[in-house]
Amino acid sequence: MAEKKLEGKKVAILVTNDFEQVEMTKPRQALDDAGAETYLISPAEGEVQGMNHDVKANRFKVDVPLDEANPADYDALLLPGGALNADELRINPKAQEFARHFDEEGKPIAVICHAPWLLVSANLVRGRTLTSWPTLKDDIRNAGGNWVDQEVVIDNNWVSSRGPKDIPAFNEKAIQLISEGKKARKEAAPAM
């Protein structure tokens, strides 16, 4: 039986239509297997459309509408990618506010592929080191972040990865970070 490192942890998964399906389903399964309770949160109502790159895939039931979601109810945030999903979320003020809460509270944020666009638009990346899909490199750097081309990067309460091929490493580090919780921020903070 798998170790339930995340027993009692609630993880918000924020997506809208046209998210990269594998970047939600594989991490969600890993979190569930580790004992977390995961909740699909979206500004879209009812269901959201997953994508396999540029081809429509499955639809998924939204557990909590973004308008009704209280970020204080969750221990961590997972942001799957997909260019259309990330582009729509980044301009949504409620999505920005939702992400800001996790960062301000030092709660873990797991972000992959195009999803860092939300963190850029929420003005959170200045001084942070992260990775993403390579085309976001300029956006992250222009927002004051340090973009690196690595499989997985942990910076304080954030874990980031480039895309689907990095999901196994991303899942491992996300589970580690979420299991450490808020204390990870203090332990990982760089010396001033």
Please name which of 172, 178, 166 lies closest in space to residue 37, comparing C-alpha atoms: 178
Out of 28, 107, 114, 128, the active site residue is: 114
Q: How many CB atoms lie within 10 A of CB 16?
A: 22
> How far is residue 192's CA from residue 172's CA, in Å, rounded to a whole number?
29
d(CA 125, CA 145): 5
Whether 42 is a known active-site residue: answer no
With H, G, I as helix, E, B as strand and everything else as coil, classify residue 70: coil
The reply to whether 113 belongs to the active site is: yes
Residue 72 is given by DSSP the state G
> Which residue in the list 113, 143, 175, 178 is annotated as catalytic?
113
C-alpha 125: how far from its chain's center?
14
DSSP state, 44? S
Question: Which residues are marked as active site?
Answer: 113-114
